[in-house]
Amino acid sequence: MPSAGQPHPRLSVTPAACTAIKRLRAARGGPVMFVQSGGCCAGSTPMCFPHGEFLTGPGDVLLGEIQGCPFYIDSALDRAWNHPELVLDVADGDPEGFSLGAGPGRHFVTLSPSGPDGPPCRASGVCVGQPAASG
């Protein structure tokens, strides 16, 4: 498994999301990618696709990589949201749009460390490159 290098300061991942990504990678035999969405029904949800499925362009900002899986946000959305940092997590419920799930009946979500969950998100630790055995 390739190492993605140093942790990116703008993206961190909860252990649950780490585990889900690890399982997705194993099940699919390769990495996935994340693209933060906005607007309408599933807006504010990160969409998870097979790696390379979504064409990114110069207007997309790479927030970080988790186990070789990049996470992008549109630069205009990034400016409007003004989130200094995002946390990738999982929650109950099926994925929306064309997104892959985070396991049966689970989907990926993005949180903000300054959000309602506050410090626990920030304390969840950055998981970049090789995940810990526990996920």
Partner 1 sequence: MRYVPPGQPGSIVSVDPRYENYIGGKWLAPTEGKYRVNLSPATAKPICEVAESTPGDVELALDAAHAAKDEWGDRSGAERARVLNAIADAIDENREMLAVTESWENGKPVRETLAADIPLAADHFRYFAAAARAEQGSISEIDKDLVAYHFREPLGVVGQIIPFNFPLLMAAWKLAPALAAGNCSVLKPASPTPWSILKLMSVLEDIVPPGVINVVTGPGGQIGKALAANPRIAKVAFTGETVTGRLIMQYAAQNLIPVTLELGGKSPNVFFSDVMAADDEFLDKAIEGLVLYAFNKGEVCTCPSRALIQADIYDEFMSRCLDRIQAIRQGDPLDTVTMLGPQNSAQQLEKIASYVGIGREEGAEVLIGGRRASIGGEFADGYFYEPTVLRGHNKMRVFQEEIFGPVLAVTTFTDEAEALAIANDTLYGLGAGVWTRDGDRAYRMGRAIKAGRVWTNCYHQYPAGAAFGGYKISGVGRENHKMMLEHYSQTKNLLVSYSTKPLGLF
Q: Which residues bind partner 1 (CB under 8 A)?
A: 35-45, 47, 49, 53-55, 74, 76-77, 80-83, 91-101, 107, 109, 111-112, 114-118
CB of 47 vs partner 1, minimal distance in Å: 5
Q: For the chain, what's the residue count?
A: 135
CA distances to 26, 116, 120 from 66, in Å: 14, 24, 19
- Shortest distance in whole angstroms from residue 17 CB to partner 1: 15
Q: Give how far the C-alpha of residue 52 lies from the chain's centroid of Cα atoms, to the nearest Å.
A: 15
Q: Which is nearer to partner 1, 63 or 77 (CB)?
A: 77
Other CB atoms within 10 A of residue 79 CB: 10
How near is the Cβ of 108 to partner 1 at its closest, in Å? 11
